[in-house]
């Protein structure tokens, strides 16, 4: 069926949501607008659905959400005798609406639904799955994307995002569902009355916070330090739970950015609500001109990522990277646990393999086992689940990704900005009592272990030949691997597609026991590294450079050389 025929079908049959009717009428006769909305259907993968909100098969709307939910219902009814599901949502436009429509579809398919009664962070959804022992979970969020987006993330019974196999099978069911005749639904109030939909109340959030606070390693330190924090939830879900947990640990001076305090899916003061970028801190920095707090804290809309800016000794604020915060948190937890005698002999920490190797050096100092996993927090969640099955969940210290996602504890199986915010503040208070800022602490780690500089560069390959060119480059790097990159010899090659780790000095190869992925990592002399991987469906290849120097300036020189070499490898 061509796009105009699809458009006409939607114009005739898409009557459930008046917003869609209005949009469809407005684009009548506008071929480019019609094409963009109907040239494809949103694909369902391990991250579920994500797209612009609007009318059409290539948009997030009543019908695409309903179709995905019907397919998910068919998957759950096949694999579980009495399936159940937990649903959460964030502050984005139509998130609450989509969550209730999804609940109605699931209920009509005989699936018990536990629905949060107000917006909550993504880690609260992961917690609820395990709390109620449900078969699956959904959260309506587009993380830190701009306001025009929304998304539908799907979780399995372990509390982490669906595996490739689960998502592929679910997508197969989704593709069999007709947008207008194939979706079962029922009246919301009727479903509640029959017990098919049950609201999760304040007691579940309190249970979540009870688990979070167990991760404190220095209870009472925040009162002693008189820590002062400016916090922005970026108009998202973090406002209540983050403030509650900071209150519980004794951070009395929490000043919330007023323009970004309350939920607002339009994100009027921050078009890109991503704590990785400086723009997310603009309002907090302005507030800090008259309120010289120790720390600025920003969580993204679904509160699974957190970024910080630290007040230096000269009064200026310095933004810290996800790698730096991850390394500091790991050092803080390990050092305090060792001092207190609570560090398990079989302790384990983990990160995504593109995150800083400084964390691995820190773990080695404390005899903590360290693992590098593929990018995607579900792999960290999977590791925690394996540890739990072995009765070793207490061995897990923390896991993190360079993209500002952290988790300590096993209460959730996804990154958690609530527990991370708590630990960051506790850590800042702990060092404040010693007369140190987190900048001082980070510089101390660099002095001890070397300056680890991590840079990511993207290379775009446009046009029809772009994907072919990318495949050609990856094949070349795989089949004709460089013996050196800049002035540094290649000492080891990890090929995640062939699952082989090859020592270039001996020629011996060992198996990489991780899922296959089109990624190549070159370990270089002196701790330097280059990792290359295509960026999913986008026509991009990403190069991750790790440069290790005695100080920042020497690391920058090394990084420049490695990036120049990466540029030549991409031609």
- Using only C-alpha atoms, the chain has a radius of gyration, in whole angstroms, of 24
The DSSP call for residue 526 is G
Q: How far apart are CA 494 and CA 368, in angstroms?
A: 23
Cα 354 to Cα 460: distance, rounded to the nearest angstrom: 19
Instruction: Show Cβ contacts of residue 462 under 8 Å, excluding neighbours closer than 6 positions.
Output: 539
What are residue 262's phi and psi, to 5 degrees?
-90, 155
CA 137 vs. chain centroid, Å, equals 16
Residue from 550, 330, 328, 362 nearest 452 by CA? 550
How far apart, in whole angstroms, are the C-alpha atoms of residue 6 and residue 57? 9
Three-state SS for 495?
strand
The yes-or-no answer on residue 143 being catalytic is: yes
How many Å apart are CA 355 and CA 371, to the nearest integer?
11
Beta-carbon count within 10 A of 356 CB: 23
Backbone angles phi, psi at 276, to 5 degrees: -75, -20
From the list 425, 120, 430, the residue with the least C-alpha distance to 246 is 425
545 strand-pairing partners: 455, 530
Instruction: Determine which one of 143, 352, 403, 501 is catalytic.
Output: 143
Q: Distance between CA 311 and CA 296 in Å, rounded?
A: 8
Cβ(555)–Cβ(547) under 8 Å?
yes
Tell me, rounded to whole angstroms, the distance of Cα 52 from its chain centroid: 19
Instruction: Tokens 């006769």: give the residue.
Output: 29
Q: CA angle at residue 201 from 119 to 258, to 5 degrees?
A: 40
Write out the two tokens for 273. 């609500």
DSSP 3-state assignment of 440? helix
DSSP string, 238-304: -HHHHHHHHHHTT--EEEE-GGGSS--TT-TT-SS--TTSGGGGHHHHHHHTT---SEEEEE-TTSS
22: closest CA among 54, 48, 49? 54
Distance separating the N- and C-terminal Cα atoms of the chain: 39
Q: Does residue 149 contact residue 142 with C-beta atoms inside 8 Å? A: yes
Cα–Cα distance for residue pair 17/260, rounded to 1 Å: 29
One DSSP character per residue, 42-106 reads PP-BTTBEEEEBSSSTTSBSHHHHHHHHHHHHHHHHHH-SS-EEEEEE-SSTTHHHHHHHHHHHH
Helices (H) and strands (E) in the chain, counts: 19, 23
**CA-to-CA distance for 159 and 162, rounded, in angstroms?**
9
Q: Give the catalytic positions in this structure.
A: 143
């Amino acid at each position: 069926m061509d796009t105009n025929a699809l458009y006409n079908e939607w114009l005739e049959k898409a009557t459930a949501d008046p917003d869609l009717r209005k949009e469809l009428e407005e684009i009548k006769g506008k071929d480019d607008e019609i094409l963009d909305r109907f040239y494809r259907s949103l694909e369902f993968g391990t991250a579920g659905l994500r797209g612009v909100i609007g009318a059409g098969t290539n948009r997030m709307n009543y019908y695409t959400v309903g179709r995905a939910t019907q397919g998910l219902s068919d998957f759950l009814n096949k694999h579980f005798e009495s399936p159940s599901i937990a649903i959460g949502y964030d502050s984005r436009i139509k998130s609450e609406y989509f969550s209730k429509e999804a609940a109605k579809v699931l209920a009509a398919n005989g699936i018990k639904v536990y629905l949060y009664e107000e917006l909550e962070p993504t880690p609260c959804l992961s917690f609820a799955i395990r709390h109620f022992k449900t078969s699956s979970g959904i959260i309506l969020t587009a993380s830190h994307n701009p306001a025009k987006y929304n998304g539908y993330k799907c979780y399995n019974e372990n509390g982490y995002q669906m595996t490739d196999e689960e998502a592929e099978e679910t997508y197969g069911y989704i593709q069999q569902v007709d947008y207008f005749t194939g979706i079962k639904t029922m009246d919301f109030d009727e479903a509640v009355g029959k017990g098919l939909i049950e609201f999760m109340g304040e007691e579940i959030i309190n249970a979540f916070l009870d688990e979070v606070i167990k991760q404190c390693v220095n209870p009472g330190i925040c009162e002693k330090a008189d820590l002062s924090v400016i916090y922005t939830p970026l108009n998202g879900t973090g406002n209540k739970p983050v403030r509650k947990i900071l209150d519980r640990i004794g951070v009395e001076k929490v000043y919330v950015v007023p323009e970004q305090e309350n939920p607002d899916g339009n994100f009027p003061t921050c078009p890109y609500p991503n704590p990785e970028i400086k723009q997310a801190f603009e309002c907090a920095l302005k507030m800090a001109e008259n309120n010289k707090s120790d720390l600025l804290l920003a969580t993204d809309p679904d509160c699974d990522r957190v970024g910080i800016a630290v007040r230096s000794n000269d009064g200026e604020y310095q933004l810290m990277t996800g790698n730096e915060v991850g390394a500091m948190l790991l050092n803080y937890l390990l050092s305090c646990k060792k001092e207190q005698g609570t560090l398990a002999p079989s302790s384990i920490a983990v990160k995504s393999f593109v995150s800083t190797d400084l964390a691995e050096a820190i773990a080695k100092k404390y005899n903590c086992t360290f693992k590098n996993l593929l990018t995607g927090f579900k792999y960290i969640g999977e590791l925690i689940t394996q540890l739990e099955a072995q009765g070793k969940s207490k061995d897990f210290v923390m896991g993190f990704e360079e993209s500002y996602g952290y988790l300590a504890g096993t209460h959730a199986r996804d990154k958690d900005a609530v527990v991370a915010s708590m630990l960051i503040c506790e850590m800042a208070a702990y060092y404040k009592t010693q007369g140190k800022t987190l900048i001082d602490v980070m510089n101390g780690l660099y002095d001890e272990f070397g300056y680890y500089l991590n840079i990511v560069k993207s290379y775009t390959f446009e046009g029809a030949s772009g994907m072919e060119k990318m495949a050609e480059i990856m094949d070349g790097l795989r089949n004709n691997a460089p013996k050196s990159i800049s002035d540094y010899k290649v000492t080891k090659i990890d090929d995640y597609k062939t699952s082989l780790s090859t020592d270039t000095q001996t020629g011996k190869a060992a198996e990489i026991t991780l899922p296959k992925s089109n990624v190549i990592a070159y370990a270089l002399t002196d701790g330097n590294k280059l990792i290359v991987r295509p960026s999913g469906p986008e026509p991009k290849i990403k190069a991750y450079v790790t440069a290790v120097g005695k100080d920042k300036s020497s690391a920058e020189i090394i990084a420049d050389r490695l990036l120049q070499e990466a540029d030549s490898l991409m031609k």
